[in-house]
Amino acid sequence: MQRRKTLIRAVMAVLLTGALVGLASPSPASAAASSFNDDCFGYVGTFKGGTQVVWADWNSDDITDECFGIAPSRTIWHAWPQSGGWQEMPNHGLADKVDGAGVDLNGTHKVRVYVSGSRHYYESELWPGVGWQGWYLTEAG
C-alpha cells in the first residue's frame, strides 16, 4: 500500500472531474480489495486504490487546511479541522481521481476531479458564506 499526498500551495486555477451521482462513505465496510486508508487531521478514511489524497493549503502558510479523496465507490470526500470526520462533498459527484485543489486568482477555493470513463474534468468552487457549489465540466478529454 503506497500512500501519496499532494500539497498544493500556489495560487492556481484548478479544474475538476466527475460524473455526478453517488452515495457511500470512505469506510472499511465499503472498501474494495485495492483500497487504502489515509488520514487527515486524525480522521481516517478508506480510498480507491490507484488514487491519492490531495492536501490543500488555501492560504499558502505551509499548513494543510483541507484534504480531498475518492472513496472506493467513486464518491468525493473531504476533511478539514473540526469537520468531525471525512464528509462527502455536496452535490453527489463521482470521480476516479482528485486532480488538484487550489485557489484561483480571484481567491476562490476550487477542487478538480477526473472521470476516467468520460475522460472529463469537473470542478467545484467554495463560495464564502454559501458552501461548495455544483460540479461543472471544465475540460473534455
pLDDT, one tens digit per residue, over 73-119 is: 999 999 999 999 999 999 999 999 999 999 999 999 999 999 998 99
Alpha-carbon radius of gyration of the chain = 14
Compute φ and ψ for 94, nearest 5 degrees. -120, 140
Torsion of CA 23, 29, 31, 37, to 10 degrees: 110
Q: Where are the domains of the chain?
A: 5-140
Q: Is the pTM of this model over 0.85?
A: no
